[in-house]
Amino acid sequence: MVAAAGTSIILRGGQKMPTVGLGLWKISNETVASQIYQAIKVGYRLFDGACDYGNEVEAGQGIRRAIDEGLVKRSDLFITSKLWSTYHAREHVKPALQRTLSDMGLDYLDLYIVHFPFALKYVPFDLKYPPQTDNGHGNQNTRANVPFQETWEAMETVYNEGLVKNIGISNIGGAMLYDLLSYAKVKPAVLQIELHPYLVRNQLVALAHSEGIAITAYSSFGDASYQELGFKADSPSFKPLLKHDVIAEIAKTHEKSPAQVLLRWAVERGCAVIPKSSNVDRLRQNLDIFGFSLSDDEVVRINDLDKNFILNDPANWIGISIWAN
């Protein structure tokens, strides 16, 4: 199923997913349409969005502009969105998807992912959309007791109705993946997880691949994605991943940037990557990762940076400890 280090990954249903895409998290409403348009011009075909990002209307405008100008056809693109945690109940999954499709001006998604493996109490669209972690009344939302099986069965329904070509999950570990596979009639096509040299996750990657599930890695540059959110290292010895000596040395050897090395490391593991950039030159660089390979020794050196360091932990922003141990 997985075409390691290739320009696309063949999903379980036969559709090709580009290996490198543009992640839309934290791209402003004011710029996301132009960034998508520019990314399409330089060769991007995978765009990874979410209801929670709050920019789907504008993202759809960028896609529509490129299609209207004849740069691409809809069938050339691979569009991903995600079900937010307030819409996990069976009766809310399809309306949430339909809202995303309406906002983006699309008839279908190529991939629809359950964003997090926990439910929050429902917030009606007309009260606050997207609700993010708000309960619709200006306070932090709280957990809702919706079994994940109920959510997945509703995801299977929208898949069977042809509204999405693939369904997937995100931010889950091995135990929950085994449980999901025990009842899923439609198996997940993709697992999207935080993955970088400070969080190598060899066992989870191997498990997913053994079950025919593709991996999309997010936060490939580690802490870089979280600096603007106020991330502060808990140790004075912490080194930003993009500035780590090991990554810099390997980048110099290959005459590539540290970012290209980090992306190449993930792609060589058979994973797709979705880095974000507003700079056209860096957009091109992030695509240009197929003309070199890492040596076995370089892979070992990068893997040895592993700290099991999770940056996107819901315990920190909504008090739900999905990674508790």
- CA pseudo-torsion sign 122, 127, 131, 135: negative
For 11-35, the DSSP string reads -TTS-EEESB-EE-TT--TTTHHHH
Catalytic residue chosen out of the listed positions 53, 112, 198, 218: 53
Residue 46 has pLDDT above 70, yes or no: yes
**How many residues are listed for the chain in this entry?**
325
Q: Can 183 be counted among the known catalytic residues?
A: no
Residue 119: pLDDT band by 50, 70, 90 thresholds? very high
pLDDT digits (tens, 9 = 90+) for 170-200: 999 999 999 999 999 999 999 999 999 999 9
Q: Please state the separation of Cα 248 from the chain's center in Å.
A: 25
> What pLDDT, on the 0 to 100 scale, is given for residue 56?
98
CA proximity to 111, closest of 82, 75, 148, 153: 82
Q: What's the average model confidence in pLDDT over 12-21?
A: 97
Q: Write down the mean pLDDT value for the chain.
A: 95
Structure tokens at 137: 């009344």
Query: What is the helix (H) or strand (E) element at residue 192, kind and residue range?
Result: strand 190-194
Q: What angle do CA 8, 10, 13 make, to 5 degrees?
A: 145
CA proximity to 152, closest of 183, 192, 128, 176: 183
Answer yes or no: are the C-beta atoms of 51 and 23 closer than 8 Å: no
> What pLDDT, on the 0 to 100 scale, is given for residue 1?
43
Answer yes or no: are the C-beta atoms of 2 and 29 closer than 8 Å: no
Q: What's the average model confidence in pLDDT over 195-215?
A: 98
Say how far apart CA 136 and CA 193 lie, in whole Å: 28
Residue 235 has pLDDT above 80, yes or no: no
Q: What's the average model confidence in pLDDT over 283-303?
A: 97
For 29-81, the DSSP string reads TTTHHHHHHHHHHHT--EEE--GGGS-HHHHHHHHHHHHHTTS--GGG-EEEE
pTM for the predicted model, two decimal places? 0.96
> What pLDDT, on the 0 to 100 scale, is given for residue 238?
84
> What pLDDT, on the 0 to 100 scale, is given for residue 225?
77
What are the helix and strand counts (H, E) for the chain? Answer: 11, 12
Say how far apart CA 201 and CA 209 lie, in whole Å: 12
Residue 5: pLDDT band by 50, 70, 90 thresholds? low
- 116: burial class by Cβ within 10 Å (0-12, 13-18, 19+)? buried
Q: What angle do CA 21, 66, 31 make, to 5 degrees?
A: 65
Residue 2 has pLDDT above 60, yes or no: no
> What pLDDT, on the 0 to 100 scale, is given for residue 6?
83
**Over pLDDT 70: what percentage of the chain?**
96
Q: What's the average model confidence in pLDDT over 134-153?
A: 96
> What pLDDT, on the 0 to 100 scale, is given for residue 3?
43
Q: What's the average model confidence in pLDDT over 96-123?
A: 98
CA proximity to 218, closest of 243, 201, 234, 235: 201
Say how far apart CA 166 and CA 163 lie, in whole Å: 9
Long-range CB pairs of 136-145, under 8 A, 24+ apart, other chains included: 140/318, 140/319, 141/86, 141/318, 143/118, 143/119, 143/320, 144/86, 144/88, 144/89, 144/119, 144/120, 145/119
- 21: burial class by Cβ within 10 Å (0-12, 13-18, 19+)? buried
**Over pLDDT 90: what percentage of the chain?**
92
Start-to-end Cα distance in the chain: 32
Q: What's the average model confidence in pLDDT over 117-126?
A: 97
138 HSE (CA, 13 A, CB side)? 0
Q: Which residues contact 7 (CB under 8 A, 6 or more apart)?
A: 18, 19, 20, 290
Answer yes or no: are the C-beta atoms of 151 and 94 closer than 8 Å: no
